[in-house]
Amino acid sequence: MADLELLLSRQSVSPRLLEEPVPSETELERAFQVALHAPDHGGLQPWRFRIVRGDNRHKLGDLYAEALKRKTPEATEQQIEAARQKPLRAPMVIVVLAKVTTNNPKVPPVEQIVSAGAAVQNMLNCFHAMGYGAMLVTGVPAYDEGVRTAFGLAEDDALIGFLNVGTVADMPALRERKAPDGYVEEWSGPAA
């Protein structure tokens, strides 16, 4: 049975606090198996994962820099360089994509994006269970046409986010969570 304490002790770890070693190939394969346990209406399997590590992170950094220049033409050299360095913070970035089918009569795009998001959550929990840290981020590059093209996305596809993964250099104290009662109510019928 799942260890609920394990789920309750997961928290995102900033890419700045992630370092080598990254999960082994066997661990990665396991993590993707866990990802594919996400709910998936119609079995459309919308999720795609692109592993970026080593020197390839520089290529991603170049895309980030171009994305910033497109979004903010007045960006300073320093800001552009900071964008270029972003994917180098963590030793591994898994880019999570959703290939969205638009003409399925039963499964609208939002459900497919939810599926891909659920796959990410499964991976966050899996990496935590393996003793690694991870954090999903988006920012300007996630919505940039140049980045989207580089990952082969069509108009209706989504770039869900950049999942940073690595060994935790310095684990922050466990953040306290809000009590769920502010978000949960018994529903007893339509609002009057």
Ligand X SMILES: Cc1cc2nc3c(=O)[nH]c(=O)nc-3n(C[C@H](O)[C@H](O)[C@H](O)COP(=O)(O)O)c2cc1C
Interacting residues with ligand X (CB under 6 A): 11-12, 135-139, 161
Smallest gap from residue 142 Cβ to ligand X (A) = 8
The verdict on whether omega for the bond into residue 21 sits within 30 degrees of 0, i.e. cis, is: yes
Question: Which has the closest alpha carbon to 161: 115, 93, 103?
Answer: 93
* Tokens matching residue 141: 């590059």
**SS3 state at 180:** helix
CB of 10 to ligand X, least distance (A): 7
Query: Shortest approach of ligand X to residue 76 CB, angstroms?
Result: 21
CB of 137 to ligand X, least distance (A): 4
Minimum separation from the CB atom of position 151 to ligand X (A):
16
Residue nearer to ligand X on the CB measure, 8 or 154: 8
Nearer to ligand X, 164 or 186 (CB): 164
Written as six digits, the tokens of 157 are 């596809």
Beta strand extents in 5-156 (DSSP E only): 18-19, 47-53, 92-98, 133-137
Q: Which is nearer to ligand X, 109 or 139 (CB)?
A: 139
Closest CB to ligand X among 17 and 135? 135
Cα separations in angstroms, 1 against 4, 6, 33, 120, 156: 9, 11, 18, 21, 38
Q: Which is nearer to ligand X, 26 or 133 (CB)?
A: 133
Give Cα separations from 174 to 9, 19, 119 (angstroms).
7, 19, 23
